[in-house]
Structure 1
Amino acid sequence: MSVPAPVPHLKRSLRRFDIMALGVAAVISIDVIGQIASGGGQSVTWIAVMAVSFLLPYALIFAETGAAFPYEGGPYAWVELAFGRLVAALTSMFYWVTNPVWLGGSLAFIGAGAWDGFVSPLGSGTAADYVFKLAFVWGAILTAIISLRRGKWITTTGAAAKLLALAFFTGTAVAYGIRHGFQGLQNAAFSPTGAGFLALVPVLIFAMVGFEAPNAAGEEMYDPQRDVPIAIGVSGAIATSCYLLPVLAILSAAPAGQITGIGGFMDAAGLVFEVYGDWRGPLLTGTGVLFVVALLTQGSAWMIVVDRMQAMAAAEGGFFSRWLGAFHARLGTPVRMNVLSGLTATAFMVAAMNLGSGDASDTFAVVLTVAITTLLLSYLAIVPALLALRVRRPEIHRPYHVPFGTRGFAVATVLVYAWVLLGSWVALFPGTLEPLFGITYDFREIWGVSRMSFEVFTLGTVLLLLAVGVAGYLAQRMHLRRHHPDDHGCMGDDRSSPP
């Protein structure tokens, strides 16, 4: 098994704090907090269950692998080492495209909704609405284009804005509860149900994955073998708190049944900020700005890492042209892939705005499901690749070990894989498991669109991406056979240990 050759034009920029900040900026999905809270009191129960049975084993296996194999491209490199270039190319395609879809079709919509409702009117489908969303998308892309040495401070600022907004909201909700009583919590049903479980599993997994994302810049870290495990552990603890506490705060304040995925967080803020009297308006405006900044930098943090991953796929011969995989000589960033991501995000933004007759909440839910589906499908290859590397490369120095050695690693992998497999099915084919448990499922009422429209947009997107991924791989293979007959699909010069 060979390992990737070093990438030119890269400079080491990420220390332990930077890795943690990048992880917090990317992983804590402030946009889905409202969607999670819409599940009611049992959302808290399932967050706690999955923190133990999914997030903990997930963090363990990715901490060990990320420290042992700190290559540029992260998950792409791991899958190629384990299963070869074709599987890696398809995996990278799904992992990468999730984020332009999410940026243009989900984050931009929530950001526009928050700005329109709490900062300055935009309207829906107006010129101002389009301008805001375009500026949002390309602002995130610009942050990914500039050098990581400067870009990391933008994402760090975004992480701070996110934590500040969540902490301020949670504290205010406590003050509101003290004044008015915690009626929402008293009426919340914390007992888990099968229907709630199936509805929440995909979005909770989506909210909890991604701690490996900074590894896509593995060769831009100063000391990944020491810093990655600690950064993942700290980021995981912060993420759990940042989901549990705000969801509890929303449930304590917002009336049952009035929480929506697209407006949950800011709508609940509008309610609890009543405790500030005449300061309510200015504080809501400030929180709205923080919220939009957090969303923008959340998208840019993911663009920073996934564009590097997809650029490595292109550079190694797995995605159309190696021209797309070039890193800018001065900036050290994959500018061409960044621009491609921006164009893809813009296309999905336009598609989402013209999805159908559903309202913004319905559009948000469907587009979010597309992003969840594509991301979870990529983990169907990434997770077993970690176990394959654990078994096949025992000689690699591992500064951090999952407890109980290979057996513990295998158990953790099986747990994570089972959750991902379930989440992938439920996201792609919602409503198909409920009848097995005698649960009524009204598709139109839940999604706001017909099953046919939903599957055309979601399953159709998956099939299209699969076709594009295969076409990109075959195009590169034909080019290599004509011009580089000695390239047989390995990843570069063989080395006995990571850099």
Structure 2
Amino acid sequence: MSVPAPVPHLKRSLRRFDIMAIGIAAVISFDVIGQIAAGGGQAVTWIGVIVVAFLLPYALIFAETGAAFPQEGGPYVWVEVAFGRLPAALTTMFYWVTNPVWLGGSLVFLAAQAWDGFVFPLGTGTVADYAFKLVFIWIAILTAVISLRRGKWITTAGAGAKVLALAFFTATAVAYGLQHGFRGLEAAGFAPTAAGFLALVPVLLFAFVGFEAPNAAGDEMLDPRRDVPVAIAVSASVATCCYLLPVLAILSAAPAGRVTGVGGFMEAARLVFGIYGSWRGPLLSCVAVLFALSLLTQGSAWMIVADRMQAMAAADGGFFTRALGAFHPRLGTPVRMNLLSGVTATLFMAASMNLAHGDASAIFGVVLTVAITTLLLSYIAVIPALLALRLRHPAVPRPYHVPFGTRGFTVAALLVYAWILLGCWVALFPGTLERLVGFHYDFRATWGVSRLTFEAFTLGTVAVLLAIAAAGYLVQRWRAPSADSRTP
């Protein structure tokens, strides 16, 4: 077995707490909480199903693999060792680009809407609106550029702000319910339906993937073999609570039909914070600032890990030029890849501003779906790679083992893979399975845009990314056909 060459200039600074904080900052997502709550009471039911049938086996297989293969680059290395450089390059492209697309799409739009509504008016499509979004994107990028031993504290602060905001909101919603009654829960309807399941499955899977992301900085961890399994277990447990409790709180307070994906969390906060009387406005402003900070540090956490993956792909000869894989000798970060992510996020933000003529709700839904699609597609190769590593390299020391050995690992991997395939199909072709089982599906009423616009944006993005990834790999093969950066 050979792996990509180790990166010079890296310093080990990530302790167990840091790994957990990066996982929490990256995975717990405010932009999907409202989207999940919009599914009504059955969203809570399906969260429970996903946690047991998807998150648990997912955490098990990534905990074992992350501890056994802790090299810098994480999932890129796993796929490269299992299947070769081309599949790894294609996979990493989808994994990486999800994050500038997400940062320049739903994260920045949600932050701008919260700032506009609760802190300072920005308007839509104004100079102030564009300025806010540009500053938001580039602060997230610069956070990833600085050295990890300093940048980790920014993502840790973001994780703390996120948990604090969610805990304060949930406690306030409980107080509101005690004062006014939990009428929302009585009418929520927790009985699961097939239509509700198909609508929620992509966003729920998106909400619960990514706990392996800190492994992209594997060579910067102090003791990954011991810390990775524990960090995944703790961050996955925290994420479950941080999705389940706020969704229940939103449903208990917000009237039926009032919850929307783009404004669900802050609109519910506006309602329940009424119990604070004259303090309502200042407290809402404080929560909105925490909300925006959490979104910003979520974007920067993903930039920290995903840019390292893509930089390793470039350094290994899988993406245009090895220069993009260079790590700064003093900072120890892939600065050129960070800047490329910033440019990509900025371009995607500008394109999203023109989608649906500025309809924020339509923009949010479609752009979030693009991010969901690209991230889930990356796991189509990652999950089989984990199983291949388990079967082909049994001699590699594994500090943590999935229960029941190879059989348990295989069953868990196949179960996770089935969920990923279902999520990819529903995200790429919404409404097709509903019609197959006889449900009516009004596409424009659901998405705010026509199917042609939606598919052009989603499938077009996927096609362009495949073309760019393939071109990057071929250019490197043409420029240096005999180069090989791997070491035994």
Normalization by structure 2: what TM-score? 0.99
- What is aligned with 1:274? 274
- What is aligned with 1:462? 462
The amino acid that maps onto 2:184 is: G
- What is aligned with 1:407? 407
- What is aligned with 1:153? 153
- What is aligned with 2:357? 357
Q: Where in structure 2 are the equivalents of 1:443-482 lying within 5 Å?
A: 443-481=443-481
Q: Where in structure 2 are the equivalents of 1:386-425 lying within 5 Å?
A: 386-425=386-425
- What is aligned with 1:381? 381
- What is aligned with 1:49? 49
The amino acid that maps onto 1:373 is: T
Q: Confirm or deny: 8 A CA contact 2:124 2:358 kept in the other structure.
A: no
- What is aligned with 1:164? 164
Report the alpha carbon displacement of residue 357 of structure 1 after superposing the two structures with TM.
Answer: 3.0
**SS of alignment partner, residue 357 of structure 1:** helix
Equivalents in 1 of 2:336, 2:60: separation in Å?
34
Deviations 1:227-268 (A, max 9, x none): 000000000100000000000000000111111111100000
Equivalents in 2 of 1:358, 1:411: separation in Å?
45
Report the alpha carbon displacement of residue 213 of structure 1 after superposing the two structures with TM.
Answer: 0.2
- What is aligned with 1:91? 91
The amino acid that maps onto 1:184 is: G
Q: Confirm or deny: 8 A CA contact 1:358 1:448 kept in the other structure.
A: no
Q: Structure 1 residue 22 and structure 2 residue 22: aligned?
A: yes
- What is aligned with 2:322? 322
Equivalents in 2 of 1:370, 1:160: separation in Å?
28
The amino acid that maps onto 2:444 is: R
Report the alpha carbon displacement of residue 5 of structure 1 after superposing the two structures with TM.
Answer: 2.0
Report the alpha carbon displacement of residue 356 of structure 1 after superposing the two structures with TM.
Answer: 2.2
- What is aligned with 1:336? 336
Normalization by structure 1: what TM-score? 0.97
Deviations 1:375-424 (A, max 9, x none): 00000000110000000000000000000000000000011000000000
- What is aligned with 1:431? 431
Q: Confirm or deny: 8 A CA contact 1:358 1:449 kept in the other structure.
A: no
Equivalents in 1 of 2:85, 2:359: separation in Å?
41
Equivalents in 1 of 2:126, 2:195: separation in Å?
38
- What is aligned with 1:138? 138
Equivalents in 1 of 2:448, 2:358: separation in Å?
6
The amino acid that maps onto 1:395 is: A
**SS of alignment partner, residue 58 of structure 1:** helix
| Percent of pairs with identical residues | 76
Equivalents in 2 of 1:203, 1:486: separation in Å?
41
Q: Confirm or deny: 8 A CA contact 1:71 1:219 kept in the other structure.
A: yes
Equivalents in 1 of 2:455, 2:5: separation in Å?
41
Cα-Cα RMSD:
0.7
- What is aligned with 1:124? 124
- What is aligned with 1:492? 486
**SS of alignment partner, residue 222 of structure 2:** coil
**SS of alignment partner, residue 137 of structure 1:** helix
Report the alpha carbon displacement of residue 486 of structure 1 after superposing the two structures with TM.
Answer: 5.3
**SS of alignment partner, residue 327 of structure 1:** coil
Deviations 1:115-144 (A, max 9, x none): 000111000000000000000000100000
- What is aligned with 1:497? none
Aligned length: 488
**SS of alignment partner, residue 357 of structure 2:** coil
**SS of alignment partner, residue 261 of structure 2:** coil
Q: Unmatched 5+ residue regions in structure 1?
A: 495-499
Deviations 1:135-159 (A, max 9, x none): 0000100000000000000000000
The amino acid that maps onto 2:124 is: S
Q: Confirm or deny: 8 A CA contact 2:356 2:362 kept in the other structure.
A: no
**Which segments of structure 1 move beyond 6 Å, counting only runs of 4 or more?**
none
